[in-house]
Amino acid sequence: MDIFKLDNTYDFVSKIPTAVKFSVLLIVISLGSVIYHGGPNWGVEFTGGTEVQVNFPQGPEVKFIRDSLETQGYQAEAVQQFGLASDHEYLISFSPKVVSFDQIQDFKEKLNEVITTTPEFADAQIQRIDYIGPKIGKELVQKAILSILLACVGILIYLVFRFEFGFAVGAVIALFHDTIITVGAISLMDKEFTLAIVAALLTVIGYSVNDTIVIFDRIRENMAKSLQKSFPNIVNEGVSQTLSRTILTGVTVFIVLIPLFFLGGAVIHDFAFTLIVGVLIGTYSSIFVASAFVVYWRKRKEAEKVM
Amino acid sequence: MRKVSRGWVLTIVLVSLMSLIFLAPTFAGDNLPSWWSKVFPSKGIRLGLDLKGGIFLMLGVQVDDSVEQELNSISEIIKSDLTKSRALVKSSDINGSTLTLNFYSKDDLDKALTAANDNFSNVASINASDLSLRIQLNSAYIGELKKNALTQVKQVIENRVTAFGLVEPSIQTTGNDRILIQVPGASQQDRERIVDLIKKAAVLEFKIVNAAGITEDVILQGQGVTSKEELASKNLEIHPGETGNQNENFFLTEDVAKVTGESISDARISFDNFGRPAVLFRFKGDGATNFGELTGENIGQRLAIVLDGNVKSAPVVNDKITYEGTITGTFTPEEAKDLALVLRSGALPVPVAVEQERSVGPSLGQDSIDKGRLSMIVGGILVIFFMAYFYRLQGIVADIALLLNMLFIMGFLSAFGVTLTLPGIAGLVLTLGMAVDGNIIIFERIKEELANGKSPLAAIEAGYSRSLWTILDANITTLLTALILFWFGTGPIKGFAATLSIGIVSTVFSNVIVARLVTNYFYRDKNVTTVSI
């Protein structure tokens, strides 16, 4: 089965100016959204929150506990069984957006009220209620960002060694482009920035680089083969020849992501959302950012040679 | 590679077998025969706190001790200042957040007052009256001291648990003086080890031995005193001995150590002359100088190595030692390894006590776990069908490679003890979606070569060989990223990088070697006229 006619060469290079405008627009929207929302909407792993340890002698179901709290306007972040199942004891945590540090006393009273008015909660005891610090501290976030930047330098060095300088820069620019726009999409949808999202973003970085290199590799192969052709033509050919692979790989990844997105439950849903955006942008940027930059870089280099 | 290479087939069989062995505990659980754990690894894939829960520890941190420590160090600083200006402190006393220094003369008191005002006026209120100087710490500064102590304890514990392996614990401070620790999975044995690791204060001291004896009384008599208090006034202290020598249950040493574990730069497990596990440590900077002085001045004497108040060993100093030393004693290899680990990660600045130790269930609800599992199974099956539908026989080749790839990845995750969380597993399923990328690159290339008029076998050969560097370049770059994240990242980032690295290596192997061998097997007949692709 073929998706595209093999000998067709599509003219991508002529679309570059439009693509640049489109990318700039997306980046402006992304950064604008992040700034408008006052930075990422950090998840409870990064902010800490309030944790309650409660014993329910009547043994209500976890779902019932969750729902009862939610009808009171307290959406629990997690309800975790504590000790043995027969202890009927739970750790219930709340994001600071639900119960802030100053509201803990009020919250405790409110909680006691809920316990006394709900028959299923009879004799329930609040063992402990306190503010808990973040699981992931500032140092860890700083270290993570630093290690990602280091990874970018690593990619740059490897690609300079394997390809040419312009290719390496193009791939790294595409990588930043994809990361910024994906973060922007998360911010626009006002999704929480959790650890799962961080994992998804790292996967997007991997995908973006991978996709770019497959195209670069073909461009390099064609450069060696057809010296008399103009560079934009070589790029058009390279991108066209790998187009069916680009699309097919994108499709298989989507085949996995769609069920994760629709069936996966809350945590997996956001993870899949991030990847869907990331993979779309990553595929687009391999052609219209990374390869486009190489065309621009070549043109400048040739202009310098003429002078 | 035209002929099915025996070496590669053997490699694949071996790797598959190893993966199965590593995975057996994950799937068979407690049904494995009892001899299994003696021969093979008994730990399966470790599931994270979100999926499986684990142990929960609530630590009470004695942050109040940090105030006394601070006052002690203030007292030391003033005393050493006064020594320089030839003044003398009569006595000192710490009560709550107040340090009182008493003097013989008004002159000395004035000198002390100047020294105190110069150094500590911003953190304490300082009063002088009746030949005594009172230094009371501000409440804001006390709050800061306690908060710092809590953060430091958390940091040390984090270092220790992280060094234990890729366990992905959750460590949080709560309130003003507690730390909540959750460690996933942990078997009963691991659990005890982790609790020990966390609780160990790891205060290491080096003291010159005065005497040793079977009972405390023998030592007290030897000094001609009746109580430990009297010893204290002579600046001496008794430590219980844990050297394994029955005649030396107690040691008499000086009370303040000149060298402590604070100046240790590195510690690791080693073995002594008798092949017994020991811990080798190195000093840094001043520690080396001080240790050199201590040993140089006491050649022929015995040096007690005191860990958390107990004498671990008391070797005779034969020579001046500056850089490194060994702690011998009665250790099991695990104990020695853990001791090295806690010495590396530093001592707890203040003592801690385990207030609660319970097991906890998964932090994600069962419904979330079920939904996640369903979505991944659906995704995985769809990819397998898609490949078989789209690429026919070659699609089946890709599917076989994919299934083996999955087996290898899980086997390696199990072997390296990587902790898997729900997003981690979703990432793995996604890896499978991406793993077929290599196959797609190769298959599309084969199609191109066929369209260019190559014969089926030549097209397959060209498809695989020409795609090799594309696949390698693309994956080496990603692997590089993953390895850098592994070396420099911490906590969950490290776990993610480990999973990613394993996934990449296994995927390249499956794409390039496994798929090739299966293809060769399908087209082993030399008179092939068409390629099913």
In which band, very low, low, confident or very high, does the pLDDT at B384 lie, cut at 50, 70 and 90? very high
Residue B435 has pLDDT above 60, yes or no: yes
Quick one: A169 and A83 in the same domain? no
Q: Which residue has the higher pLDDT, B176 or A182?
A: A182
Indicate the burial class of B3 (C-beta count within 10 angstroms; 0-12, 13-18, 19 or more).
Answer: exposed
Write the pLDDT tens digit of every residue in B185-226: 767 777 777 888 887 777 788 888 888 888 888 888 888 888
CA geometry: angle B387, B391, B393, nearest 5 deg: 100
- Residue of B430, B454, B501 to mutate for A, most A C-beta atoms under 10 A: B430
A51 has which bridge partners?
A93, A130
Instruction: Give the type of residue at A91.
Output: L
Is residue A5 situated within a structural domain? Answer: no
pLDDT digits (tens, 9 = 90+) for B162-187: 777 767 888 899 888 999 988 887 67
CA A303 → CA A12, A220, B119, B519, distances in Å?
22, 21, 66, 48
- Alpha helices by DSSP H, listed for B243-365, are 285-297, 333-345
Q: For residues B339 and B277, what is the distance between their CA atoms, to the nearest angstrom? A: 11
Domains, chain B, in order of start with CATH, read 6-47+365-522 (1.20.1640.10), 54-62+150-358 (3.30.1360.200), 67-142 (3.30.1240)
The pair of three-digit structure tokens given for residue B187, joined into one six-digit string: 């078997």
CA neighbor of B44 nearest in space, from B359, B412, B391: B412
Quick check: B528 contacting A, CB < 8 Å? no
**pLDDT tens for each residue of A117-130:** 888 888 888 888 88
Q: Is B104 on the interface with A (CB under 8 A)?
A: no
Residue A264: name the closest of B372, B452, B317 by CA.
B372
Contacts of A252 (CB under 8 A, 6+ apart): B383, B386, B387, B433, B434, B436, B437, B440
Indicate whether A3 pLDDT > 80.
no
Decide if A192 touches B, using CB distance below 8 A: no
Check CB contact of B503 with chain A, cutoff 8 Å.
no
Residue A223: Cβ-neighbour burial (10 angstroms; 0-12, 13-18, 19+)? middle
A275 chain-B contacts, CB cut-off 8 A: 430
Kind plus residue range of the DSSP H or E element containing B208 = strand B204-213
- Residue that the structure tokens 């066209």 belong to: A240
Q: Are residues A97 and A24 in the same domain?
A: no
Residues 391-410, chain B: which have Cβ within 8 Å of A?
391
Of the candidates A73, A82, A85, which has an alpha carbon nearest to the alpha carbon of residue A52? A82
pLDDT band at B431, cuts 50/70/90? Answer: confident
> Could you tell me if residue A76 is inside a domain?
yes
Q: CATH number of the domain that A122 lies in?
A: 3.30.70
Query: Does pLDDT of A177 surpass 90?
Result: yes
When pLDDT is averaged across residues A139-162 and rounded to a whole number, the result is 88
Residue A151 and residue A63 share a domain: no
Q: Are B496 and A78 inside 8 Å of each other by CB?
A: no
DSSP for B43-85, written as a single string: --PEE-HHHH-EEEEEEEE-THHHHHHHHHHHHHHHHHHHHHT
Name residue B231's amino acid.
Answer: L
Contact B489 A253 (CB under 8 A): no
A139 pLDDT higher than 90: no
Smallest CA–CA distance, residue B163 to chain A, in Å, is 15
Give the CATH number, domain containing residue A206: 1.20.1640.10
3-state secondary structure of A275: helix
B525 interfacial to chain A (CB closer than 8 Å)? no
Using an 8 Å Cβ cutoff, are B464 and A19 in contact? Answer: no
Of A136, A216, A259, the CB nearest to B378: A259
Q: What is the full DSSP assignment across B464-483?
A: HHHHHHHHHHHHHHHHHHHH
Q: What percent of chain B has pLDDT over 90?
A: 18
Q: Are residues A196 and A271 in the same domain?
A: yes
Q: Is residue A7 part of a domain?
A: no
Question: Does the structure show a pLDDT above 90 at B385?
Answer: yes
CB contact under 8 A, B360 and A213: no
Read off the pLDDT of residues B4-35 as tens digits, 9 standing for 90 and up.
Answer: 578 888 999 999 999 998 888 877 766 777 77
* Nearest-CB residue to B481 (from A133, A206, A272): A206
Residue B489: which of A131, A147, A248 has the nearest Cβ? A147
Shared domain for A203 and A245, answered yes or no, is yes
**Beta-bridge partners for B79:** none
b (16+ CB within 10 A) / e for B361-393? bbbbbeebbebbbebbebbbebbbebbbebbeb
Position A307 scores a pLDDT of 63
Task: Indicate the residue of B361, B372, B489 with minimum beta-carbon distance to A265.
Answer: B372
Same domain membership, residue A278 and residue A177: yes
d(CA B399, CA B514): 11
Using CA atoms, how far residue B410 sits from A131, A272, B174, B499, in Å, is: 38, 22, 36, 10
Asked if the C-beta of B493 comes within 8 angstroms of chain A's C-beta atoms, the answer is yes
Q: Assess whether pLDDT exceeds 80 at residue A305.
A: no
Q: Taking residues A243-270, report their average pLDDT.
A: 90
Q: Is position A194 within any domain?
A: yes
- Rg from Cα positions in chain A: 26
Mean pLDDT of chain B: 85
Condensed to tens digits (0 to 9), the pLDDT of residues B272-289 reads: 778 888 888 888 777 788
Cβ distance B474 to A78 less than 8 Å, yes or no, reads no
Nearest-angstrom CA–CA distance, B362 and B47:
10
Show the tokens assigned to B500.
């990613």
Residues B200 and B342: beta-carbon distance below 8 Å:
yes
A188 and A111 inside one domain: no
Q: Is B361's CB within 8 Å of A85's CB?
A: yes
Tell me, what's the pLDDT at A5? 59
Q: Does B472 touch chain A (CB under 8 A)?
A: no
Q: What stretch of H or E contains B123?
A: none
φ and ψ of A136, to 5 deg: -115, 110
Helix (H, G, I), strand (E, B) or coil at A192: coil
- CB-nearest partner of A271 from B172, B390, B423: B423
CB contact under 8 A, B378 and A263: yes
Instruction: Using the structure block, give the residue that is written with the tokens 């972040």.
Output: A77
Q: Which of B452, B493, B504, B511 to mutate to test the interface with A (most CBs of A within 10 A)?
A: B493
The beta-carbon neighbor of B371 closest among A151, A256, A265 is: A265
Q: What is the 3-state secondary structure (H, E, C) of B125-176?
A: EEEEECCEEEEEECHHHHHHHHHHHHHHHHHHHHHHHHHCCCCCCEEEEECC
Tell me, yes or no, whether A143 lies in a domain: yes
Angle at A185 (CA atoms; ends A180, A188), nearest 5 degrees: 120
Among A133, A146, A265, beta carbon nearest to B174 = A133
CA distance A215 to chain B (A): 9
- The residue out of A85, A113, A132 marking a domain boundary is A132
Interface of B with A in 18-47 (CB under 8 A): none
d(CA B345, CA B331): 19
Distance (Å) from the alpha carbon of A194 to chain B's nearest alpha carbon:
11
Tens of pLDDT along A35-55? Answer: 999 888 888 888 888 989 999
The residue from A132, A159, A183 where one domain ends is A132
Instruction: Tell me if B478 and A258 make a contact (CB, 8 A cut-off).
Output: no
Domain total in chain A? 2
Residues of B in contact with A252 (CB under 8 A): 383, 386-387, 433-434, 436-437, 440
Domain holding A189, by residue range, is 13-42+137-306
Q: What pLDDT is stored for residue A218 in this prediction?
A: 92
Q: Residue A17 falls within a domain, yes or no?
A: yes
pLDDT score at A2: 62
| A2 belongs to a structural domain | no
Residues A112 and A142 in one domain: no
Asked if residue A178 and residue A95 are part of one domain, the reply reads no
Q: A105, A132, A159 — which closes off a domain?
A: A132
Q: Phi, psi at residue A6, to the nearest 5°?
A: -65, -40
pLDDT value at B155 more than 90: no
ipTM over 0.95: no
Inter-chain CB proximity A82 and B481 less than 8 Å:
no
State the number of CA atoms in the 13 A half-sphere of A101 facing the CB: 7
The pLDDT value recorded for residue B1 is 47
Name which of B360, B371, B386 is nearest A81 (Cβ-Cβ).
B360
A59: contact with B, CB 8 A cutoff: no
Which residues from B are below 8 Å from A170, CB to CB? none
Encoded tokens for B111: 């000198």
Selected residues 431-460 of chain B with any CB under 8 Å from a CB in chain A: 432-434, 436-437, 440-441, 444, 447-448, 451
Written as six digits, the tokens of B358 are: 């319970």
Choose the mutation target among B434, B450, B465, B472 for the interface with A, i.e. most A CBs under 10 Å: B434
Kindly tell me if the per-residue pLDDT of A80 is higher than 80. Answer: yes
Residues A77 and A91 in one domain: yes
Q: In the prediction, which pLDDT does B196 show?
A: 81
Across the A/B interface, how many CB contacts are shorter than 8 Å? 232
CB-based contact A252 B371, cutoff 8 Å: no
Q: Is residue A1 part of a domain?
A: no
Task: Based on the fold, state whether residues A70 and A96 are members of the same structural domain.
Answer: yes
Summarize pLDDT for B121-143 with one digit per residue, the tens.
888 899 888 888 999 999 999 99
Shortest distance between the Cα of B481 and any Cα of chain A, in A, equals: 5
Tell me the β-bridge partners of B60.
B178, B353
B384 → chain A, closest CA residue: A252
- Which chain B residues are within 8 Å of A290, Cβ to Cβ? none
Instruction: Quote the crossing angle between the two packed helices A165-188 and A292-306, to the nearest 10°.
Output: 140
Instruction: List the single residue in B with minimal CA-CA distance to A150.
Output: B484
Using the Cβ of A48 and the Cβ atoms of chain B, whether some distance falls under 8 Å is answered with yes
Same domain, residue pair A248 and A186: yes
Count of alpha carbons within 13 Å of A64, Cβ hemisphere only? 12
pTM, whole model, 2 decimals?
0.81
CB within 8 Å of chain B, chain A residues 109-168: 130-136, 140, 143-144, 146-148, 150-151, 154-155, 158-159, 162
CB contact under 8 A, B360 and A80: yes
The answer to whether A200 touches A279, Cβ cutoff 8 Å, is no
Contact B178 A248 (CB under 8 A): no
Q: Which residues in chain B are contacts of A264 at CB distance < 8 A?
A: 371-372, 375-376, 426
Does the distance separating the beta carbons of B363 and A80 come in below 8 Å?
yes
